[in-house]
Copies of this chain bind each other. A is one copy, B any other.
């Protein structure tokens, strides 16, 4: 049956629409952190960040139903719900970030934020890290470094490397020297952008550097990048599609961990717990400048159903205390996982924040060469033990653990048990 479904999928969505696992999982239902497949097998979801407060959360479903049964319309009429949601959402930001444009996806949000930045700076140039992903529009494809796109890197794009304090090449250097070298590379990229005539519109930073493989960056790195970009006339865009909404535990928004106040913040994935909801948060003056010059309208953006769902997600996060629990459970998980991987010379160390963490897999105990093959086998083995996770990083050699914030204490042993068994079966073999 799964084979037939797969063939029907190929005949409609095509053969290249990405699928996980050697044998794709055919899912039929979800609840909290659990997913069930067509054979009745249950999986602990330690991968998905979109169902932030849990799969099929009854309060989110009811908010969706109640509002859809009442009214769903665009924002060219007045509506309480979008204003109430915007107020609640903006209350989670610093007072300077007091305006929001609601969209339907993180891609729309990043594309729009860059439009705003380019118009404000009258510059086209963009700085991104050398292994990153910010969305699938044409504009964003031209600055994608972290996955395959046919578009070459734009002539207006320059990249910089994100330093990892634990990288082999940094073993002999002090944190200060690593930071200085990394910022020098940023200076060079900025200098090139200016020399090219494109100028500097913005830097895009995803504050966990998750596509990049969760490197442990030196203190002051992101702040140093922001300072240099601003000195060159550019804006700072924090891409919070991955790191936001409490995911990092000790901070509601990921950029706060770096002590930086961005000019533009883009939101996505978890915002509607699966409902297509995203947005750009910025300052009144940047929005005023953009709005006065462009007739920007987004048909579905900010509709009352999306607003009701987004608002209920914020309420559930607050009332269920999910951010504090994310910090506590994340810390505990990383500690226990650290103890586990310390026994394996080819693994580790554990990186990440809150409930987004992982560890690199190497070919041997010198920890110099990444081992994507073993990482892939590890992900498959963890699945065979009933837990879903994935891999990231330039070599696809960093285990990626990113459960919904609905994860509770009782689920940690399930996750760690599956990992322990899977490591024994793959890494230790």
Contact = CB atoms under 8 A, between A and B. Distances in A.
A26 B77 contact: yes
B14 A99 contact: yes
Nearest to A141: B115
B303 A12 contact: no
Interface stretch (A131-139, A366-374, A391-399, A415-423): A131-139
A351 interface: no
A180 to B, nearest CB: 35
A234 interface: no
Contacts of A316: none
A30 interface: yes
A138 B136 contact: no
A30 B136 CA distance: 34
Contacts of A293: 148-150
Contact of A73 (B30, B151, B297): B30
A229 B9 CA distance: 32
A27 B77 contact: yes
Q: What's the number of copies of this chain in the assembled complex?
A: 2
Interface residues of A, number: 101
B12 A100 contact: yes
Interface stretch (A101-109, A330-338, A341-349): A101-109
A276 interface: yes
A275 B73 CA distance: 10
Interface stretch (A58-66, A168-176, A259-267): A58-66
Given A14-B291, A30-B73, A64-B64, 7 more contacts: A13-B101, A15-B291, A16-B287, A18-B76, A29-B71, A73-B274, A148-B293
A75 to B, nearest CB: 6
A79 B70 CA distance: 29
